[in-house]
Amino acid sequence: MTPVSATPTLSGAPHSTGVLSNLRWLVSDTLTLTRRNLLAVTRIPEALFFSTVQPIMFVLLFRYVFGGAIHTDATSYVNYLLPGIFVQTVAFGAVSTSIGLAEDLQKGIIERFRALPMSRGAVLLGRTTADLIRNVFVIIVMTIVGVLVGFRPSTGVPSYLAGVGLILLFAYALSWGFAIVGLSAPNSETAQVMSFPLIFPLTFISAAFVPLSSMPSWLQGFATYQPFSVTVSACRSLMVGPASTGTGRSTAFWVVQALLWTMALLIAFIPLAIRRYRTRT
Amino acid sequence: MTIAIEVENLQKTFTGKREVRALDGVSFAVEEGTVFGLLGPNGSGKTTAVRVLTTILRADGGSARVLGHDVWKKAALVRTLIGLAGQYAAVDENLTGRENLQMVGNLNHLPRSFVTGRAVDLLDQFNLTDAGDRPLKTYSGGMRRRLDLAAALVARPTVLFLDEPTTGLDPQSRNDLWEVIEQLVGGGTTVLLTTQYLEEADRLASTLAVIDHGRVIAEGTPASMKADLGATVLEVGLPSIDDAQRTGAILDALGPHRSVVTGTMVEVTVDNGPQAAMIGLRALDAEDITPQTFNLREPSLDDVFLSLTGHRTEAEVAVDGDGDGTESPRQKRRKKRMEQLEEALPGLTGEFS
């Protein structure tokens, strides 16, 4: 082995406690960890492949198997379905935030981070930012798949992009929620099984796949105004027009509700996740 | 001489399902530019001490200073001065070796151009250049540990913490890593090393503290510890466990410490080897006990540990199941000795019958 030189000439980083430089390091460390988390996604192409295949299967299943039995008046079922699929896909994808964090805790990499002069907040910010960027990719893929099976957004590009923005913001709030799950789980496998009981009822007791009017009346209240549904309805209004929701409400009504829910979730989840991270590490 | 690491009466109790007093008043000091070995079995508090010193964990009481800075009050500053390589090889297995080193460099807020060059140098120094652009999941255990150590060195730390750097490695990789660590010390870096391998502490550390149940139970140089124990170890192999028990009782009188009986082997440390051997043989003869083997040897750190704690280093590993399933050098030696004995046994039994 060649000689190792470790002469202590450079004593680490310039040390500063100013607010501005702290903020600068928070941004730079978050970018470093975002890059690290995204690289990990590309290094496991199988995971990327199958996490894309699953929502595509849902599209095909509902479009061609169940769709014929579901009646939507204002628009074709495929137009009704796709905004729901988008929200379902990012919600299922948010589980990866919990798995990723649980894995980092389990493997001791967060221990190493704790001994580095980096920003404390960068671990959670880097994780949720990486998941946000991954969701952009997911929405692009799902839009292409949707168009291939007959999805025809009709409200113009700006409105469509506003819908995408709303989904991404909602997904970002969910990431923080699942960060709490990941930080509470003993390992990544448990993080995964802990996440699905939370995701399933919210995804399926919603406006995502079937018209709300087809549900029993005692279920309609919850199914209409829970955060997943509200986001789906807002996106549906923005992408295919307000009539497509079948609720008689305006686009603004749903968008405001969706934004309020998303803000409420962010305000609740972010401090909880930070506190959980502090006690766990 | 300047003190690089100073620990005074450090306390840490973990509360949970059952209360564990991990650090029960640990004190020690490490001189700048030396290797200090913290030696102890699994669960003795070594890792907890390292976690406190590397700012990861807050102690309940006592003080810990690195280069004069309190590790909790001045944590941000201390983190810029230290490097940590852990027993779990905390590296990102999805990233390549180079990406891992660059990530650690960036998180140390070092200039990008410096980080790029430093990664190239470190990969070269640790013989990882060929593997530098492969994801870590393709690395062998030894390569992973080398990269973990390289990652700890990216920011050129003044004080380096190595928490069981070779646990679970094969002998060849262990030797390679030992060479690297020896070269590091030549460069003036202060190293705190924890280990449960006495051989490792003996080879690398200039000063040792033996830690057990969260307390330092002995401190000194490897040589002084061995000298304290007694000059020579008398090692007697008996044909039966019963004979070994009787022999143990007889040989208790020979040295400053009691004899230790392990199966059919009896060990006792003595001050004057040849004299003790003569007395011992006469006493055994008088009791009609005929040994199969009879050796005088230099004491090892294993013997030191045994006489200090009353238990062997591996014993706890086997009991609490935290061991990684690999054999310690001593277990290997013992196994080899048993095999040699078995090979020699047919001839021996003929001679003794």
Per-residue pLDDT tens digits for A208-266: 888 888 889 899 889 889 999 999 999 999 999 888 888 888 889 999 999 999 999 99
Q: Which residues contact B285 (CB under 8 A, 6 or more apart)?
A: none
Name the class of domain B228-352: alpha beta
Which residues in chain B touch residue A118, judged by CB atoms under 8 angstroms apart? Answer: 107-109
Residue A277: other Cβ atoms inside 10 A: 20
* CA atoms of A12 and B80, how far apart (whole Å): 5
Cβ atoms of A226 and A202 closer than 8 Å: yes
At B55 the pLDDT is 92
A8 closest CB neighbour out of B92, B135, B189:
B189
Burial A218-242 (b: 16+ CB within 10 A, else e): eeeeebbebbbbbbbbbbbbbbbbb
Residue B30 reports pLDDT greater than 50: yes
Q: How far is B144 from chain A (nearest CA, A)?
A: 13
At A245 the pLDDT is 83
At B8 the pLDDT is 94
**Residue closest to B149 by CA, chosen among B174, B171, B172:** B174
Mean of pLDDT values over B256-277: 84
Q: How far is A218 from chain B (nearest CA, A)?
A: 44
Q: Residue A26: which domain range?
A: 22-280
Q: Is residue A275 part of a domain?
A: yes
| ipTM of predicted complex | 0.84
Residue B338 reports pLDDT greater than 60: no
Q: Per CB distance under 8 Å, which residues of A are interface residues toward B? A: 1-15, 17, 25, 28-29, 32-33, 36, 39-40, 43-44, 107-109, 111-118, 122, 281
Q: Is residue A7 part of a domain?
A: no
Reading phi first (left if > 0) and then psi (alpha if -120 to 50, else beta), residue A202 is in alpha
* CA atoms of A240 and A157, how far apart (whole Å): 11
At A141 the pLDDT is 93
CB-based burial label for A59 (10 Å; 0-12, 13-18, 19+): buried
CATH 3.40.50.300 fits B3-15+22-225, yes or no: yes
* CA atoms of A183 and B317, how far apart (whole Å): 29
Q: Is residue A8 part of a domain?
A: no
The DSSP output letter for B279 is H
Q: Is residue A10 part of a domain?
A: no
At B23 the pLDDT is 92
Where, residue-wise, is CATH 3.30.70 in chain B? 228-352
Cβ atoms of A53 and A43 closer than 8 Å: no
**pLDDT tens digits, B305-335:** 777 776 655 433 333 333 334 445 555 555 5
Cβ atoms of B7 and B28 closer than 8 Å: yes
Percentage of chain A modeled with pLDDT above 70: 94
Mean of pLDDT values over B61-70: 94
Where, residue-wise, is CATH 3.40.50.300 in chain B? 3-15+22-225
At B342 the pLDDT is 46
Cβ atoms of A99 and A238 closer than 8 Å: no
Structure tokens at B333: 């030696």
More confident call, A116 vs B184: A116
**Number of domains making up chain A:** 1
Reading phi first (left if > 0) and then psi (alpha if -120 to 50, else beta), residue A181 is in alpha
Q: Say how many CB pairs under 8 Å bridge A and B.
A: 134
State the helix-helix crossing angle for B112-125 and B141-153, rounded to 10 degrees. Answer: 140
**pLDDT tens digits, B3-29:** 999 999 999 998 877 888 889 999 999
Mean of pLDDT values over B184-197: 86
* CA atoms of B25 and B64, how far apart (whole Å): 12
Mean of pLDDT values over B250-255: 83
Structure tokens at A152: 């025809």
Q: Is residue A145 part of a domain?
A: yes
